[in-house]
Structure 1
Amino acid sequence: MSENSQASVGQILRDAREAQGIALDDVAVRLRLMHRQIEAMETDDFDSLGQSVFARGFVRNYARLLGLAPEALLARMQGAPAEPAAVSPAGQSVSHSWLTSPWLILSLLGVLVAVAVPVVLYLWLNSEVEEDSTQRGAVAMQTQVAPAAVPVPVVEPAESVSSVVQAALVPADAPAAAPAEPAGAGTPATPAPAAGSVLHLEFGDEAWTEIKDASGRMLHRQLNPAGGSVDVNGQPPFDVVIGNAAQARMTYNGRPIDLSPFIDATVARFTLEE
C-alpha cells in the first residue's frame, strides 16, 4: 500500500502545503480562516471545527487551494474504504466522449436546419395554393347557382306573428345552451415545492449577508434590517458570509447552526456541505 493511501487527511494537507512552500499564515489569509483552524485540519482535529458540515467545507476549500481532489479527502473523513482512492490534482484533464463534441452537435443542428427549412417552405407554399383554389371554386359556384325563392309565411293575428318570428329565429332542432360555468370554479393549482436545501436566517441587528450555491451563483446578497429574516433555497455546498454575525441566528434544513466558531472580528465566513 502506498504511503499516500496510509496517510491521514491532515497529513496529506500538511505535506502538500509544505511541498509547495506555503506558510500557514498564507493559507489562513487566502482561506479567510484563523490560524488555529488550519492547524486543526492538519492535525485531524475536526471536532474543534464545529459541526461536520463546517469541517467538510473547510477541508474542501483547503484541498482546492492546494490543487488536490477534495472528494478523495472527504471520503476519508466519512471512513476510509477498503481500497482508498489516490489523491490526484484536481486540474487533471478528463477525456470526453466524441458524442459530446460541440462540433458534432453543431453539425447535426446544421443538417437538421438544412432539411427542415425546405420542407416547411414547401408545405407553406402548397397550403397557399390549395387555399386560393378553394376560394376560386366557391366564387364560381355562387355565380352559377340562382338564388332560391324564399317562402313568405302567412301573417295571422299578433300571436301567430310572434310564433313565426320565434320559429324563424330559433331552429326546432337547436340544442339547449349549456349553463355557463361560474368563474373560479376550477381547482387552483398547487405550487410545486422548492427543490434543494433551505437556509433560514434571523437578524437581531442589521447584518450584511452573501450566499452562493454549488455552481457559484449568488442566491442572496443584501443588508438585512434588524428583526428581519430570510429563507434561501439552493443546491449545496453553500459559501456563506455574514456580517455582524453575533446578532444572527441560522438553521440549515431545520437544524440550528452555531456561528460562533467561525466569527473573525464581526464577520463569519464558512462553507455548508450537504
Structure 2
Amino acid sequence: MTDPQDNNFGEIAEPKPAQTESGPGQSLRAGRLERGLSIEDIARQLRLSVRQVTALEEDDYSKVASGTFLRGFVRNYAKLLQMDAAPLLQRLEQSLPPPPPTQTISYPIEGIPFPSNRDHGKRNLIIGVAIVLALLLLVYEIYRGSEANIEKAPSGNVESRVETEQTSDASLFEAPPEITADGADIAASAGRPAASEPKPDVQPPPVRSASSPVVPAAPQAAQQPAASRSADAPSRELADEGPGVVRLIFEGESWVEARDGKGRLLLSRVNARGTEQVLRGTPPFSLKIGNAAEVKLVYNSNPVDLTPHINVYGGTARLSLE
C-alpha cells in the first residue's frame, strides 16, 4: 500500500509545460471581452472585415495582410482598446516567421565597356555627317522639284494671255512697231532720192561691130542696191517678229541659256541692262532665264508672262515654248 503523501509528492514532482504566448491575438481578445465589445464592433470601428479581426485574435496571419499593414492593424486594435501597443508589436515580431535571407547577386563588371571621350567624339562626328547629308539631300530635292515643275507655254495659251495683258503691256510693246514704221519710212525716203536723181545725159554709143561686148548702163546698176536696201529694212523687222522667233528684252542684267528643238545652243551669256536678244530656231525652245523678273519675253509676236515659271528660291525661270 502506498502512502498518500507519496502520491502527492509524485504529482508535485511532475513538471508542467510553461504556457507561452505566441502572438498578440490572445491579449487583444481578452481586452475586447473585458470592454464588452463584439468582433463586429471592432470590425466596424477599424473598418476591417469580421474575418480579418478573427484572424488577428487567432494569430492566423495568412488571412491578414502581412508586413506593414499587419503591424498597423495591431497598433490600431490596441489603440482602440486603450492598450499599450509596444509589447504587442514586439510579440508580433517574435511570432512572425523570419524573412528569407536576401541573396546578393553580383555581376562581373570587368567585361562591360564604358564609353570614353573618344567614343563621344566618334558619335558626334557621325551625327554631324548625318546632318550634313540630310541638308544636301534637302537642297537636291528642292532643285529637283523646281526642275520637275517646268511648265510648257503653248502658242494657244500665249495668245489668250495676250488678250488679258494687252492693256497693261501696251505701252511696253508699242514702241517696236513704231520704230519699224519709221525705219520703213526712212528706207523709203532714202530710196526716193535715189529714184528721183536726174539721169545724166548719156549719148548713144558709137555703132560697133557685133563682136564687141555690150556694156550695161551704169546708172541703172547704181539704182538696184538702193532699191534692195529699201526692201530689206521692213523684211528684217518682220523677221524679228515672225513665227519661230524669240525676243528677249532686258530691263536688268540677266543670264540666259536657250536651246531650240534640235538641241542647238542659241544663247548662253550674261546680258546687260537695256539690251535685247532675238533668237531664231526650230520649236520647241527651252529657256533658262536668271533674274527673270527683269526680263520681258516675246514669242511669235506675243508677250509671255514669266511670273508662273520663276523659282522662288533663286529667281530663275525655266520654261519651254512650243
TM bin, normalised by shorter chain, reads: 0.3 to 0.5
Say which structure, 1 or 2, has more relative contact order (CA 8 Å, 6+ apart).
1
Structure that is richer in helix per residue: 2
What TM-score do the two structures reach when normalised by structure 1?
0.36
